[in-house]
Structure 1
Amino acid sequence: MGLPSAEIITIGDELLYGQIVDTNSQWISQHLGLSGFRVVRRTSVGDVREDILAALAAAEQRAELILITGGLGPTADDLTRPVLAEYMGCGLSLHEETLENIRRLFEKRGFALSERNRLQAMLPESCLPITNHWGTAAGMWFERGSKVYVALPGVPYEMKNLMEHSLLPRLKQHFKTQALYHRTLKTSGIGESWLADEIRDWEEQLPPHIKLAYLPHLGMVDLRLTASGEALEPLQQEVQQQIDLLYPRIKKWVYGFDTDTLASSLGELLKEKGYTLATAESCTGGFVSYTLTSVPGSSAYFLGSVVAYENAIKELELGVQADTLRQYGAVSEATVTEMAQGVRQRMGADIGLASSGIAGPGGGTAEKPVGLVWIAVATPTGSRSRKLQLSQDRDLNIRLSTAHLLHLLRQTLTEND
């Protein structure tokens, strides 16, 4: 038995104009995948009757489940309800239970029910309404032949609650989905193609019902194993057996599993070893500190930071030698090493991190082009540094420098493990 196929259609001009980021499709795809569905396409259309009808007709040819979000509001440009009624060949009629739910929500919020909001209770006659306890737009379930169509509100908070509390249990029962199990290994410090070369023979021996996906992002690569079958527990055991075979080969690059982040795994390492940390940042402008302190409980190991853009601040606050700056410049191995050593000593931390570079888009030279970054880690026993040559994009350079610096810290903490 294969995985039932699904297509997601998001409706709204604001999505096509880029005024709103479509986070709904990503969230729905993840949760449909975890529930045993195979998402075959995601489509966005504007508030145009003909375009919505065409998207529905095309999706019906590809998928068993067509899940629609958006266009269920009370304004004239919200077309999903009347267009679905037209597509299903039925009219709209007042659904008393939905109207009463809308009335209760308005009373709870201290508002009078408007005629425009009352129209949200006019639903296609062939739908099975799905009560929305979190907003005024009811969900709708349709069956047409062997296909199921579901319309949900576009407001993420409402959509997620309807999915979790009402829709997903009903979908699993209706489609009798297979068990699906995901496990993800998180790696840093190795590129996707190099990692693929390292594990090629392991990957080739994977059984057909266990699939491997490479998910690269910002100096890291996630390895996601997905297993499908009749029962969950045997899948979990099989995936763990495969991980046990894989992990020793790539241990030096694996920083965590599933929902772990590089920052959260570093936090656990620092607490385990009883180390404290401080940062000295130039080109990253505080992003290293932000990333580290985004982890709850980071005050147990993070002491503070100095954002030293000006050379004078590097000298006064971090103790970088004037001769070092004159001879080598701010973007150099010597300077970044003294920055890491200085912040460690002045803040009384066990470890100091530092970054200095040319983030761009301007400021580069032939000798020191845009994207040149030096990073360093200082400990009581010494320092280590690394030269990076990144991109022409400022934001990307800041984020990549941070990822590389945190990976260098992880290497330092685990090299003797």
Structure 2
Amino acid sequence: MWLYNINVIDWNDKYMNACIITIGSELLDGTRLDTNSKWITEKIAGYGVVAQKIVSIRDNELDICDAISETIDRYTFIFITGGLGPTHDDITIESFKKVFQLNSRIDSNYIKEIEQKFLVRNIVMPKMNQNQAVVLDGADIIDNPIGTARGVYYQHSKSKFFIMPGVPSEMYRMMDDIILPNYIGKPIELRYRTIRTSGIAESRLSEKIENLMSLHSKDFDFSFLPSYKGVDFILKAIKENAELDKVADEFYSEMSPYSFGYENDSFIEFIIGKLSENQFTISLAESCTGGFLGKIFTDIPGSSEVFKGGVVAYSNSIKVNQLNVSNEKLDRYGAVSSEVAKEMAQNVMHIFKSTIGLSITGIAGPLGESNNKDVGLVYIALAFKNICICKKFNFNLNRDLNRKLSCYTALNMIRKVIEE
């Protein structure tokens, strides 16, 4: 007999919650990617169900039993995939039986159905497939229209369990055709806004809006999605009468000057819009980013209104011959220095006759490190009218992220100059 001490916690009255358990040693060996969890979380969100936990476990009876037992009375819905095949390592049903001490029987009629499914393909059903005809007492059978592994629905106290095949196509059909419409309820309208920010760290942004989150926590859920481009803040209404747009505007204002748009608004389009609005033009001198910032600009149709051009000065000879950087400064300070970055920015502005000149020079890595200059060291300079500012950064990441962060940091410098 299996004995479990179940830790019962209070229900979260904001929403129905869920736990997803994916079973299969292949998921933990790196030979298979768990795509089921992502698909399920997206589907159930449309029904007002929030996935609070996802766990993947091996085909091990003790681990499966422990994982299932820990969900009892903790989650409204528990979605379990995998381990319903006919082979020795498919032990999900047997493990589930032990947790709830259920009796079972063999459905002889379903064995005949399985035999017919094999006969259609001119194959004799292997005897081990009879294992897929097990029926648990007190549980509903969930039909599988395209496979032989039927699913299971079982309710224990406040928790509703769904056991489905690990094969994605079979699981999709069970969810779409049977589980969602018959057991979960009606789809709901998801009400959320995404506020886009750039130039501020996730922790700093959280501190900045801490009071607002506390004020609106009964009506909204909050989440932060950081990336090298910035931090997206998702505001999700959890009550029907929540004033989503009004509250979103409050957060947007509180996040100023880092907030720049909603949903799919892009930061580069915001920057181009600001340049155009002020009738400014810009030119670029890029070294370690290799023209990536220029690509970001020219990816946007109509950017030629503000983007005049650029020079990819990857080698010192190009810095000298095309950007007129002095050999003396290169020899004295090195290509990765504030002195050279400033000269690159000022000279590219004059060469292209643009309002703003911006330069990036640094060590993207993994090579190029010296005694006093580490990988990730970047100087970004911006020339505007009669001023030239230069900032030093130590990103210390991999080559790809060092380059991307350099570009988006440069865009934030452009924004700051325009708005000031």
Q: Same fold (TM over 0.5)?
A: yes
Secondary structure in 2 matching 1:59: coil
Say yes or no: does 1:210 pair with 2:220: yes
Aligned to 2:360: 355
1:227-282 residue CA offsets vs partner (Å, 9 max, x unmatched): 222x3xx32xx122222223233332112223445456557767888988776544
Query: CA 1:169–1:154 in structure 2 vs 1: closer, same or farther (change >3 Å)?
Result: same
1:89-133 residue CA offsets vs partner (Å, 9 max, x unmatched): 4356548889989999x9xxxxx87968x9599455344335567
State how 1:315-334 maps to structure 2 within 5 Å.
315=320, 320-334=325-339
Query: CA 1:25–1:280 in structure 2 vs 1: closer, same or farther (change >3 Å)?
Result: farther
Amino acid at match of 2:419: E
Query: CA 1:150–1:365 in structure 2 vs 1: closer, same or farther (change >3 Å)?
Result: same
1:301 is matched with which residue: 303, 314, 318?
303
**Cα distance in 2 for residues equivalent to 1:279 and 1:121:** 67
1:146-173 residue CA offsets vs partner (Å, 9 max, x unmatched): 4322244556677667656764444541
Contact 1:85 1:92 (C-alpha < 8 Å) held by counterparts: no
Amino acid at match of 1:332: S
State how 1:10-409 maps to structure 2 within 5 Å.
10-22=22-34, 24-71=36-83, 77=89, 79-80=91-92, 89-91=103-105, 94=110, 119=129, 122=132, 124-125=134-135, 126-129=139-142, 131=144, 136=147, 140-146=151-157, 147-152=159-164, 154=166, 163=175, 167-173=179-185, 181-206=191-216, 208-218=218-228, 220-229=230-239, 231=240, 234-235=241-242, 238-263=243-268, 281-284=286-289, 288=293, 298-301=300-303, 308-315=313-320, 320-337=325-342, 339=344, 354-361=359-366, 363-365=368-370, 367-376=372-381, 385-391=390-396, 393-409=398-414
Query: CA 1:244–1:282 in structure 2 vs 1: closer, same or farther (change >3 Å)?
Result: same
**Cα distance in 1 for residues equivalent to 2:143 and 2:235:** 34
**Cα distance in 1 for residues equivalent to 2:245 and 2:328:** 55
Secondary structure in 2 matching 1:402: helix
**Cα distance in 1 for residues equivalent to 2:271 and 2:118:** 48
**Cα distance in 2 for residues equivalent to 1:222 and 1:409:** 20
Secondary structure in 1 matching 2:403: helix
Amino acid at match of 1:128: I
TM superposition shift of 1:7: 0.7
Contact 1:141 1:148 (C-alpha < 8 Å) held by counterparts: no
Query: Who wins on radius of gyration, i.e. which is larger?
Result: 2
TM superposition shift of 1:141: 4.4
Amino acid at match of 2:231: V
Contact 2:115 2:124 (C-alpha < 8 Å) held by counterparts: no
**Cα distance in 1 for residues equivalent to 2:405 and 2:67:** 39
Structure 2 length normalisation: TM-score? 0.71
Secondary structure in 1 matching 2:71: helix
Query: CA 1:5–1:354 in structure 2 vs 1: closer, same or farther (change >3 Å)?
Result: same
Contact 1:72 1:120 (C-alpha < 8 Å) held by counterparts: no
Aligned to 1:415: 419
Aligned to 1:109: none
Amino acid at match of 1:41: K
TM superposition shift of 1:67: 1.1
**Cα distance in 2 for residues equivalent to 1:185 and 1:95:** 54
Contact 1:67 1:150 (C-alpha < 8 Å) held by counterparts: yes
Aligned to 2:5: none
1:19-39 residue CA offsets vs partner (Å, 9 max, x unmatched): 555454345445534532243
Amino acid at match of 1:13: S
Amino acid at match of 1:69: T
**Cα distance in 1 for residues equivalent to 2:368 and 2:134:** 61
TM superposition shift of 1:183: 2.2
**Cα distance in 2 for residues equivalent to 1:120 and 1:278:** 71
TM superposition shift of 1:53: 2.9
User: Could you say which structure has the higher helix fraction?
Assistant: 1
Secondary structure in 2 matching 1:67: strand
Query: CA 1:52–1:201 in structure 2 vs 1: closer, same or farther (change >3 Å)?
Result: closer
Percent identical across equivalent pairs? 33
**Cα distance in 2 for residues equivalent to 1:276 and 1:158:** 56
| Range with bigger deviation, 340-349 or 373-382 | 340-349
TM superposition shift of 1:363: 3.6
Structure 1 length normalisation: TM-score? 0.71
TM superposition shift of 1:329: 1.8
Structure 1, unaligned runs of 5 or more: 107-111
TM superposition shift of 1:206: 2.4
Aligned to 2:3: none
Query: CA 1:181–1:329 in structure 2 vs 1: closer, same or farther (change >3 Å)?
Result: same
Say yes or no: does 1:6 pair with 2:18: yes
**Cα distance in 2 for residues equivalent to 1:46 and 1:344:** 60
TM superposition shift of 1:42: 1.8
Aligned pairs, number:
397
Amino acid at match of 1:390: F
Query: CA 1:59–1:248 in structure 2 vs 1: closer, same or farther (change >3 Å)?
Result: closer
Amino acid at match of 2:15: L
| Range with bigger deviation, 156-165 or 325-334 | 156-165
Contact 1:3 1:177 (C-alpha < 8 Å) held by counterparts: no
**Cα distance in 2 for residues equivalent to 1:271 and 1:132:** 58
**Cα distance in 2 for residues equivalent to 1:69 and 1:281:** 50
